[in-house]
Structure 1
Amino acid sequence: MRRKQTAHDPLTPGQKKFLDFLGAYRERHGYAPSQREIASALGLSSVGTVQRYKQKLVEIGAIESTGTARGLRNLMPLAETNVEALLLPLVGKVAAGLPIEAVEQQELVEVPSSLIRKRGEHFVLTVEGESMIEDGILPGDKVIIRRQAVAQNGDTVVALINNEATIKRYQKGDHGVELHPANSAFSVLHVPDNSDFRIEGVLVAVLRTYY
């Protein structure tokens, strides 16, 4: 007879993906996804499969359900769920060079949970350009960003300048905000006082795929 899964047992890969998507969706939207949205994101064939995952995760205390359409909430801290990977939203591209227009995408990327050391909303961007290569950020890399509106001098940030996204080292001094490249072939970007400037987040980690 097969032993019943308990809260002390590792999650199955499907359960991990379910929890990761639920957590990422709630952070981004402020409420839980619908069962159809979960099925679509995880590639499940039916809402019935989602219901079976939900029932099992409720039984082991990983989530709670209020019984409403969007009434799911994570209960177990990450360390207790034995989750080795998280699903984070890939929200577009960012220029390591001149700013490029911010374009949002609808996709999820699996990242090691060990890279997410602080609470808060995180997202992923794909790097274009070579202005940060001396910091080990190369074209095609994916960068994990923790969303926050402030930064310390020296932080590598993703910033929007007149709705164009760029990744650079942040520096604020007597002459205003400067965005510094990590490539001697590129110039410092001085942010005009009258520009629409905001920090979207701070670099957490870099992901690279080798082919």
Structure 2
Amino acid sequence: MNKQKRTEIFARFQAANPDPKTELLYENPFQLLIAVILSAQATDKSVNIATRPIFSTRKTAQDILDMGLDDFTQAIRSIGLYKTKAKNVLKTCEILVNQYNGEVPQTREALEALPGVGRKTANVVLNTAFGQATMAVDTHIFRVSNRTGIAPGKNVLEVEQKLLKVVPKEYLLNAHHWLILHGRYICVARKPKCPHCNISDLCEYKDKTKPS
């Protein structure tokens, strides 16, 4: 795919959704970090259902520590892998309180050192909470990048690095959200909704679906 096509794709994404946001609900960087840790192999919707009552009164790492592991585990039991995630969250909160005065660090290295935080989670926090032009490649972005031809790659790191290289700079900050939303609602896994896609004429996918 050439630069002109990519530029037009992101121009259309921006025109359709000028200020894209994560669908996770949060009030501050700490709550976002916890929500993203919980969202691994779970939907944003399921995470929001579990975190809404917690986040209404628990705003800081110390607040979660004060809940204790048992109560926090019970509060998120509707989320997949909740026992492991609860332990990671409590350990992360301990580190934040003891090493960072309760604040969320703003570097990839520090974030990835936290329990339950991998490269993708760190990228989401850096991008969404701190406005850094990172690219958090999940299954949706991986699929869209390969299927459309925007940034094909064999693994998530390859796709991430390619997207950072080929997405026009003026669109880079929001590109991660646009691609996720496109993959979640239009360029879905089993049967992409090509007739409803606003970049269908630019997409290089050969097996486009027809109107039903």
**Normalized against structure 1, the TM-score is what?**
0.32
Q: Which has the larger radius of gyration?
A: 1
- Higher strand share goes to which structure? 1
Tell me which of the two structures has the higher relative contact order, counting C-alpha pairs closer than 8 angstroms and 6 or more residues apart: 2
